[in-house]
Structure 1
């Protein structure tokens, strides 16, 4: 379960690093990776022991990424030009440290305040009331628009070397789609027969992303040693080299205990809070579905309302902890690990508890975070192409629960998704036309209208609950 969640957890700090002005500071990237591992382990233990009490793993959420990126794209938080030039960046200088820490503190404050809403909704039982008004035509555009706006991030990283990115994508697709049903024989000792027997392990089905990244990483290492890849920083393909960030392995501490407020005292802005609230609502809806799927696959009865309320409330506490520790993200249940239950057919909570403890320990060993920070950029880009595509498709798949032969439903789904792409794009290019003269209000409007997930989800919610139609549709 730990290895299954690995790709998604590592991806989040790497996506945020550019907007936090950390493109050329792999050491801080490694610290963020270690922190999100630590908090994910802590939240997993809380959820399994005190929350919904199902074998479900917690990790960083992509639902928070879109509003976070929208918030950091405000003129106030645009990265200074010199932070994008590797020759001008001194990662230990007080000026540079303040640049990235001021940004992550703003994200921390927004997450901590927005998480209070999730805590209240969960423990008060309001989630059941809200779900009466949130159907597939709201969920589909919301989840789809979590991934679609990230195409620029995927293209930017993949474009550093399209050959390596395509190779990574090829391996992930090969393992996850073409070889998913190919078993590998694993020797297992049988006590009853008192001898070793062979068991089938569907390794490619469980770890396609990890295997794809590992093989591509190894090939990049070989190409680096043989100097097939260019050695000049300005040359195309340079960032496919494995020695570009190698110094972080020496600089990262062996042991480091992440703690609350490690980047300073969080700051709060209304714009950030409203933006993250959109992510919180999306995350809650997704988690409710995961709880039911997890119960079904683990052989447990459907979770009662009080268990769901507890689970959402604990997730809110998890987001509060993630904000306090400074991961730059929140926490949610991992659908990938719910799927892994169906493959492994092991529904024991103890397995997830051990996975949570592993994440806690990994978060305290700085060298492990440093290793992940050295993954070549185009390898990450290749992973993004697959990962974001799957997230978008998962969103669209929710439409199977609506009657798509209905012109009403076709209109709502299409209009919501298209508006969630069109309006943020226009607002980004014409922000000055929306200025009211009140800075705080301008920031709130800008963050909300540039968050496609909020725009699409709002239209889906409004239209689905106001346009007349049959309940069965």
Structure 2
């Protein structure tokens, strides 16, 4: 048990709980991200215009998403930032998918047999776009750029991301009133019942007696409970025939049940399973813009309340996140990966930030992805319920966006003007070009510039970044940037981002490696090892006395 900047933690990032606790905490983290992992497969499967094959494709996309999420999480926690964070499909790539939807709209005349070609186009374009992430990390540019990007840039971008997904939310919610029930359930669980402790019965084999323990299940599992209750209500509507035979809330729709019964129990997911990737220049530009937005968002993220990462850790995290996004592209997930704030938020409640618990969650996600029957079962969730989940997820992101302003001096008209102006122009400029297009006389140029200027996150983010860097009248502290170097030093002292001792000893044998942007300096490595040796000596003395 440790104390972290005044906050009590049951398990620190380097602590290893008991095996049963690891499995329980890992299962909990997996359940928290469950609902968010379903959103992209549902949206993407509809964009492919596959007709009767939509449900079968959705099953495959769900399985691929779970496997990719598990692998990306294990890679990041082991080789990247080395914190207890979970990586899953990023909603920041939805604007790029909307660009694809505009290029290939679903109509009555659409050839439903071309869905594989469309998937190959998405995979190839996304793969090229996310290459920028490992390149920026390996060269060390991310660590340098991160010193100039702050909350004033990230807040407008996240707000504009939420605004951009409003049409998707409205489309899903309008399918059936069950989505409103889903939203109300989530509001009740997260807001009204957050502090309610429910007694959970158990049995102790060592003491041979029953016992009860109290848990805040409503605040720890709001999405899971919301989906289960809404799904159960859909089942009641189905068995009582209150929902019409072709209603969107029925749980016995022919295509869903057929796919569930015909899906094999085990199906290994692998890269390029939909065919060799193809490329579209306008789509590459759209995905690149989303990638840049994700990178800026990640730079500014306060991860797991574990202090500010050293530059080498930030660079390494982007390399690993880029590898995870490249894998997601080849697996057909349709988006890159990013850190899930829901999983970080649950740590505020559980006070468990152990790295190995998140690695366990990653392993469980891979197993579920390979067990394709589970993916087929999840694909049977009525699509209207996903509308409520998407609305709640975007609400969480919007709330996190405004939380970033707590380090900014909001008494300065400079800061308020930049944030407000970037949000307003980030909405206005894309709307203008959506209505009137971009006309230079050169089709390729029109497609590229039109794509970029229609992306709210990119437009608003660039405006906020440029104004924040160029405009005077505020110190780094007033911009929310001061104190990063001090927090970085504290993070090094507390051994949060460091490699294991055997890895550090190996690096020290080849001093030239420490010159790489993704590797800590020789001085910091030796400092970490000295701190570890000191702690070991202190523990030995405590045991003696």
Please say whether Structure 1 and Structure 2 have the same fold, judged by a TM-score greater than 0.5: yes
* Corresponding residue for residue 264 of structure 1: 275
Please report how far the alpha carbon of residue 349 of structure 1 lies from its aligned counterpart in structure 2 after TM superposition.
1.9
User: Counterpart of 1:9?
Assistant: 37
Q: Where does residue 90 of structure 1 map in the other structure?
A: none
What are the residue-to-residue correspondences of 1:81-92 with 2, within 5 Å?
Answer: 81-83=108-110
Query: Could you list the per-position Cα deviations for residues 81-118 of structure 1 after superposition, in whole angstroms to 9, with x for gaps in the alignment?
Result: 245xxxxxxxxxxx5232x2222222212221122210
Map of 1:7-86 to 2, 5 A cutoff? 7-22=35-50, 25-74=54-103, 77-83=104-110
SS in structure 1 of the partner of residue 277 of structure 2 = coil
Match of residue 118 from structure 2: 103
Aligned CA RMSD, in angstroms, stands at: 2.1
Distance 1:370 1:218 in 2: 17
String of CA shifts for 1:266-307, please: whole Å, max 9, x gaps: 1223322222222223323333455x53252xxxx6533222
| CA contact 1:158–1:377 (8 Å) conserved in 2 | no
Which deviates more from structure 2 when the two are superposed, residues 193-202 or residues 24-33?
193-202
Tell me: CA distance 1:437–1:105, structure 2 relative to 1, closer, same or farther (3 Å).
farther
Question: What residue in structure 2 maps to residue 92 of structure 1?
Answer: none
Work out whether residues 19 and 73 of structure 1, in 8 Å CA contact, stay in contact via their aligned partners in 2: no
Instruction: Please give the alpha-carbon distance, in whole angstroms, between the structure 1 residues aligned to 2:85 and 2:335.
Output: 19
In the alignment, which of 159, 173, 177 is matched to residue 158 of structure 1?
Answer: 173
CA distance in 1, matches of 2:406, 2:286: 28
User: Structure 1 residues 295, 53: CA separation in 2 closer, same or farther (over 3 Å shift)?
Assistant: farther
Q: What secondary structure, in the 3-state scheme, does the structure 2 residue paired with 1:200 have?
A: strand
Structure 1 residue 395 displacement after superposition: 2.1
- 2:143–2:312 CA contact under 8 A, matched in 1: no
| Structure 1 Cα separation of the partners of residues 405 and 305 of structure 2 | 22
Aligned equivalent of 1:184: 198
Structure 1 residue 253 and structure 2 residue 264: aligned? yes
Cα pair 2:59 2:376 within 8 Å, conserved = yes
Alignment equivalent of 2:252, drawn from 243, 258, 269: 243
Looking at structure 2, the residues matched to 371 and 437 of structure 1 have their Cα atoms a distance apart, in angstroms, of: 50
Q: 1:395 to 1:103 in 2, by over 3 A?
A: farther
Q: TM-score, normalised by structure 2?
A: 0.77
Of 294, 303, 314, which residue of structure 1 is paired with 2:304? 294
Distance in 1 (alpha carbons) for counterparts of 2:398 and 2:353: 28
Instruction: Give the Cα separation in 2 of the matches to 1:145 and 1:171.
Output: 26
- Structure with larger Rg: 2
- Provide the C-alpha distance between the structure 1 equivalents of 2:398 and 2:113, rounded to a whole number of angstroms: 35
Counterpart check, 1:213 vs 2:216:
no
Q: What displacement does 1:437 show?
A: 3.4
Distance 2:318 2:191 in 1: 33
| Partner secondary structure for residue 14 of structure 1 | helix
| Structure 1: segments with no counterpart, 5+ residues | 84-94
Q: 2:448 matched to 1:469? A: no
Residue 164 of structure 2 corresponds to residue 149 of structure 1: yes
Deviation at 1:34, TM superposition (A): 0.8
Deviation at 1:7, TM superposition (A): 1.1
Runs of 5+ in structure 2 lacking a partner?
Answer: 1-28, 479-545
Does structure 1 retain, via aligned residues, the 8 Å contact 2:151–2:300?
no
Is the contact made by 1:70 and 1:451 (CA closer than 8 Å) also made in structure 2?
no
Residue matched to 1:342? 348
Q: 1:329 aligns with which of 332, 335, 358?
A: 335
C-alpha distance in 2, partners of 1:27/1:314?
Answer: 31
TM-score using structure 1 length: 0.89
Distance 1:43 1:370, change over 3 A: same
